[in-house]
Structure 1
Amino acid sequence: MTVSAPRSDSARSRSAGRLGAARTRRGIGFSLAAVLVLVSLAGFVDTWRQATVVSRAGRAAQAAGNYEDARFLVTLAHAERVRALRDPGDVVAAVRHQDLAARFVAVLNGTRSIDPGRAPAVALVLRDETVYLGLTGQFFTLTAAGQTSAALTLHTDRIGPLEQRMLDQLGVLTGNSRAESDAAHRELSRQSRLLRLGAPVVLCAGLLLLGLFALMTRSFRRTVENQAAYDPLTGLPNRTRFQSRCGRLLTAADGTPMEPAVLLLDLDEFKQVNDTLGHHVGDQLLVQVAARLLDAVRAQDSVARLGGDEFALLIADGGQVTATQVAERITENLRQPFVLDGVTLDIEASIGIAVAADGDDVLTLVRRADTAMYVAKRYRLGHAHYTEEQDDNTMTRLTLLSDLRRALDGDEFELHYQPKIALDTGQLIGVEALTRWRHPTRGLLYPDAFIAATESSNLCYPFTVHVLEKALRHTRAWADRGVRLPVAVNVSTRCLLDNRLPEAVAALLHSCGVPAELLCLEITEGSIMANPEQALDILGRIRALGVMTSIDDFGTGYSSMAYLKLLPVDELKIDRSFVSNVATDPTNAMLVQSTIDLGHNLGLSVTAEGVEDAETLAVLRALSCDVAQGYYFARPLTPEALGTWMAARKTGGVAVG
């Protein structure tokens, strides 16, 4: 008994202990559960707070990117106006400028929902944009009218300051947004540290939540950083990252033989792809182009998309040789057809290459590559290397175009006339008008000093009309003195394919009072083959007026016989390169004979140019050539000198062979 009682007490004691332990465990369990709930709730609250910060950082970063894009669009618009000043003949510059302006407005309007706090500041920028559009519209109207000086003044005095104010405003918006993004990132980092320090290390759930949140934070941060540094469409580095890489490479290469290079690439006719097949096809094309560019470079080189259809390649070393090899590989890669939505496209690109020298900065190198790319595009070279002469030529050409506009306004052009002689009778049957420029400081200039610049600019049409009017007024003056003398005027490819030409010719014939049969328009084979259908249509409309037409420099181009027999022309003119040695070169004599036979079989008159001696004249007569002109008869003469020459022939003072 004495033993049993303590056992019973001991059992109760142990039972009470077990109950207490159970209660303790339950309490601990409830406490742990409560702690887990609290930790989970705290984690949820903290996660929600951090998600809010992440969202704010993302919006701020996106807004900053949009403001930076808007600044870049303003810079591109500035470049388009500069390009319009350099090449007023670029008729699509205004269209590109309007497209940039539309994209600028769309970017800023889209930013309002992302960054509502700065909507009033954005509204101020858009208000300036409205004024800016009006001024730039005036600018392109002036350049289209050939008033480059007025356009330059407007560009410098009004557009430039307004443009700078917009850039400054956008710079402030960009800086504020980036500051907000940085502050959000700092807050994000601080909260992450607090969460890691405060969460009970014994609570696996808390650790898992913390780890998951940290992963989410890092992932989102990487996403934000990638969005700020990479093109979302192609995955290539964007302009900012490209410039950063290029700057680091130039710094590292200074004073070494590395010779890094920048290649700028622009797709030819990309706008037509977008306009014809849609932007989704254009986007697919850009993605495929990016892949082919990556395939053309080495591991140490970089490819970036600067925007639109413009790409940049950073060649780490190797100088001009390696850069050329890369350009050739790119050309070969792009030569393969692209298949997009079942449509096969052939795409070409223009590539500008600039090799860095010691001390060059990023902007200088990119500008040089852009200049070379413009040369490659203009002359369809595929790729071109930058040279200092390209910058000089640009300035020289701008000066020449400015002088040409002044010359048109100041009537500085004059016409000299070369007689055309019928070989069967020796009679004067017409003249060819040849333009000379009486430059106020450079003296008398021949066509090779200015015609190329005229034909590549929007001066081509007014220049041609000016020459036609001057030639017809001389023809009218000769007719008034009793001399019925047909005149031939050369017409360039650009003017031949201009739908306004037939109406302009008709108006000039009427205003000058000259019969249509006294005017002959001379065109080249190349101008016909540039667009045969258009050439046939315009020539037909000119012939319908009664105006004569002639193919000049025949034999130097690539005429199609199928088109030749359809052309409404009256005369073939054999180029002087075949005529000059026809008396001594049997091969040339055979070619001239074949051309004369071809012309006669087609019912055309045949004229030989460049006759300079009696032997050549005798051979041409023997070959049954119809008409000749050249120094043997007379050099090009002023209208007054031509009158003296004609008078001398009537009195027997001038021999014609």
Structure 2
Amino acid sequence: MHYVDAINSDFVRRAYAVDMVLEQRSLASLLVFAGSAMVALTGVAQAVLFSSTDAFADGIWTQLIVMCGTSSCATIFVLGLLHNDLDKYYAQILERQEEAQLEARRDELTGFGNRKALIECLSDARSDLPTAEPVSYLGIMDLDHFKNINDTLGHEAGDALLQQVAERIQAVAKSKAKVYRLGGDEFAVTFLSCKLKEVLRICSEIRSRILDEFLIGQTQALVGCSIGIAKTDKRYQESEWLRRADMAMYKAKNGGVGIAFFDKSMELEAKRKTELSLRLTRAFEEKENLSAKYQAIFSTDKRIVAVEALFRWFDPDFGMIATDEAIKIARQNRLLDQISLFVAEKAAATVSEAADLALCVNVEAIQLLDENFTRQLYACLLENGLDPIRVQLEIGEADFVEYADQLVSPLSRLVEQGFTIAVDNFGSSNASLTHLKKIGVKAVKFDPSILQHARESDNPTVLKAKTNLAKSLDMVVTCKGISDKVDEDLAMSAGCECLQGFYYGRPDAISSFTTHIETINSMAAA
């Protein structure tokens, strides 16, 4: 018996060349052995039996070829006997192929179609195939704060959350839309023959349901979502539909609006960001067009007690880039560490020469989770003559909410090194001062909206209550956003210990700032 392996694009075939036996019981032998590797035929003959790998285990043969011209009748006879098995075999093959195709297009966790299924759906819709779904709009949805759930509760909890999210989306989508999971916490929705008004209604309801509390085991979890929508214009490729919906989603996320519809301005904005990303990277490489400015922080007796170092970037073609935009671009290009180290280095030498003056440096939680960055920052300050005991690291309240548990260990190490930890823009999110105290926060800077509310309502109750709570926890309170004497009086009457705002001057270059400090403090002392 000779064994041969051959492979084609559909499946592996095994071929067995069998020497046939001369005997009178050929018919009986044939009936007994049909489907096996030994088939007896009348006359001297050789046959080759073909089977797929799976079918071989079941004894199902796909073809028999007799290698003898005089045995053609026997070949026909044997194939006739195997006809039913062949039909069964091919039916199994087709069924398995269909199952494999379905599985290849299905997300295992949620049961939704996956990215491959979405691409095929969009391609069919664009080609106007008879079987195509009438996709009128495409939505891309991304969960907010999902990473925090994964990091704090574990991946199993994250998977459970995604399954609950999928159920809520499907409950809204029903027959009007079809949902796909693209991977991670990203979903896509194809809207079927929907007008824009209906699309916005569905998206609004999906977002509303996602914002409701989730229960994972015994733990309550909160996430949000951002949705971008694009029209499926057949003048463009389906890849362009996806790109546009994706741009709209990032607009919704970064703008904090929740839902955004693609428009041409996003295209221009995307091109601008791409160009600025390249230019900021180049600016750090060449150490050009970057600077640091400083804003004074005053005590209630009008002395400068600290300075906040602020990053500034001037591009020759685009002009002065707004700080918020520069920080976003830096975040997207992993340049935040370079910004923090840059302003710390620029400020440290100057601040170290001014006795009793503290330096405030803005950082993000994600930076503090990286031990390499905190080591670099510590070394940078010492190299430039500034003891970390005179440095206040300011972290936005939203970061404390999102990374509360993860920050415990890094903040503990930083406090041991002498740093003061402050929560910046307090009042803009839902952080608990009591919890912040437990993880090492020693100072709080109120969001300007708190002062604005006190002024507009002519009621400083909230400002006073927050100030008293912070001071009861031994936190130093700074009121930001002081724009005139009225603001100053409100902040001081509420008990705020430090004041910051344009009323005392805009951020200035270090060269003129040093003189400014000496002048102001000498006047206050007099």
Q: What TM-score bracket applies, with the shorter chain setting the length?
A: 0.5 to 0.7
Residues of 2 paired with 1:623 and 1:295: CA distance?
A: 49
Q: 1:590 to 1:310 in 2, by over 3 A?
A: closer
Residues of 2 paired with 1:51 and 1:328: CA distance?
A: 65
Given candidates 329, 340, 345, the residue that maps to 1:469 is 345
Residues of 1 paired with 2:252 and 2:202: CA distance?
A: 16
- Listed one character per residue, the Cα deviations across residues 154-192 of structure 1 (whole Å, up to 9, x for unaligned) are xxxxxxxxxxxxxxxxxxxxxxxxxxxxxxxxx97999x
Residues of 2 paired with 1:242 and 1:206: CA distance?
A: 44
The residue number in structure 1 matching 2:488 is 617
Give the C-alpha shift of residue 385 in structure 1.
5.8
Listed as ranges, the gaps of 5+ residues in structure 1 are: 1-32, 60-186, 192-196
Given candidates 502, 511, 516, the residue that maps to 2:383 is 511
CA contact (8 A) 1:229 1:238 kept: no
**Could you tell me the percent identity over the aligned residues?**
23
Matches within 5 A, 1:561-576: 561-576=433-448
CA contact (8 A) 1:259 1:319 kept: no
The residue number in structure 2 matching 1:444 is 320
Give the C-alpha shift of residue 505 in structure 1.
3.6
Give the C-alpha shift of residue 407 in structure 1.
2.2
Q: 1:276 to 1:637 in 2, by over 3 A?
A: closer
Matches within 5 A, 1:517-528: 517-528=389-400
Given candidates 532, 536, 540, the residue that maps to 2:404 is 532
Q: 1:288 to 1:257 in 2, by over 3 A?
A: closer
- Listed one character per residue, the Cα deviations across residues 58-104 of structure 1 (whole Å, up to 9, x for unaligned) are 99xxxxxxxxxxxxxxxxxxxxxxxxxxxxxxxxxxxxxxxxxxxxx
Write the letter of the residue equivalent to 1:402: L
The residue number in structure 1 matching 2:423 is 551
Give the 3-state SS of the residue equivalent to 2:312 in structure 1: strand
Residues of 1 paired with 2:182 and 2:521: CA distance?
A: 71
- Listed one character per residue, the Cα deviations across residues 594-650 of structure 1 (whole Å, up to 9, x for unaligned) are 233333323333332232333433444444433323333322221122234345547
- Stretch moving more, 522-531 or 374-383: 374-383
Residues of 2 paired with 1:594 and 1:344: CA distance?
A: 31
CA contact (8 A) 2:50 2:63 kept: yes
Give the C-alpha shift of residue 219 in structure 1.
0.9
CA contact (8 A) 1:239 1:306 kept: yes
The residue number in structure 1 matching 2:5 is none
TM-score, L = length of structure 2:
0.67
The residue number in structure 1 matching 2:13 is none
**Count of matched residue pairs:** 475
Residues of 1 paired with 2:98 and 2:397: CA distance?
A: 55
Give the C-alpha shift of residue 54 in structure 1.
5.5
Give the 3-state SS of the residue equivalent to 1:506 in structure 2: helix
Matches within 5 A, 1:492-507: 492-507=364-379
Given candidates 361, 373, 378, the residue that maps to 1:489 is 361
Give the 3-state SS of the residue equivalent to 2:370 in structure 1: coil
Give the C-alpha shift of residue 563 in structure 1.
1.1
CA contact (8 A) 1:487 1:519 kept: yes
Q: 1:316 to 1:412 in 2, by over 3 A?
A: same
CA contact (8 A) 2:203 2:227 kept: yes
Give the 3-state SS of the residue equivalent to 1:632 in structure 2: helix
- Listed one character per residue, the Cα deviations across residues 173-223 of structure 1 (whole Å, up to 9, x for unaligned) are xxxxxxxxxxxxxx97999xxxxx98999x9x997x365135224414423
TM-score, L = length of structure 1:
0.56
- Stretch moving more, 387-396 or 483-492: 387-396
Write the letter of the residue equivalent to 2:102: Y
Write the letter of the residue equivalent to 1:625: C
Give the 3-state SS of the residue equivalent to 2:505 in structure 1: coil
Structure number having the greater helix percentage: 1
Residues of 2 paired with 1:497 and 1:570: CA distance?
A: 19
CA contact (8 A) 2:244 2:262 kept: yes
Residues of 2 paired with 1:523 and 1:344: CA distance?
A: 26
Q: 1:586 to 1:50 in 2, by over 3 A?
A: farther
Q: 1:406 to 1:318 in 2, by over 3 A?
A: same
CA contact (8 A) 2:37 2:49 kept: no
- Listed one character per residue, the Cα deviations across residues 247-305 of structure 1 (whole Å, up to 9, x for unaligned) are 44433389x995545567889779999x9669xx98x9999999999887667987788
Given candidates 88, 99, 123, the residue that maps to 1:216 is 88
The residue number in structure 2 matching 1:591 is 462
Q: 1:358 to 1:199 in 2, by over 3 A?
A: farther
- Listed one character per residue, the Cα deviations across residues 121-174 of structure 1 (whole Å, up to 9, x for unaligned) are xxxxxxxxxxxxxxxxxxxxxxxxxxxxxxxxxxxxxxxxxxxxxxxxxxxxxx
CA contact (8 A) 2:309 2:344 kept: no
Matches within 5 A, 1:189-588: 209=81, 212-223=84-95, 225-226=97-98, 229-231=101-103, 246-252=122-128, 259-261=135-137, 316-318=192-194, 320=196, 354-366=230-242, 368=244, 392-409=268-285, 410-424=287-301, 426-476=302-352, 478-479=353-354, 485-579=357-451, 585-587=457-459
Residues of 2 paired with 1:223 and 1:287: CA distance?
A: 28
Q: 1:206 to 1:243 in 2, by over 3 A?
A: same
Residues of 2 paired with 1:462 and 1:640: CA distance?
A: 22
Residues of 2 paired with 1:300 and 1:620: CA distance?
A: 53
Write the letter of the residue equivalent to 1:404: L
Listed as ranges, the gaps of 5+ residues in structure 2 are: 1-23, 40-45, 57-61, 67-71
CA contact (8 A) 2:247 2:262 kept: yes
Residues of 2 paired with 1:245 and 1:498: CA distance?
A: 42
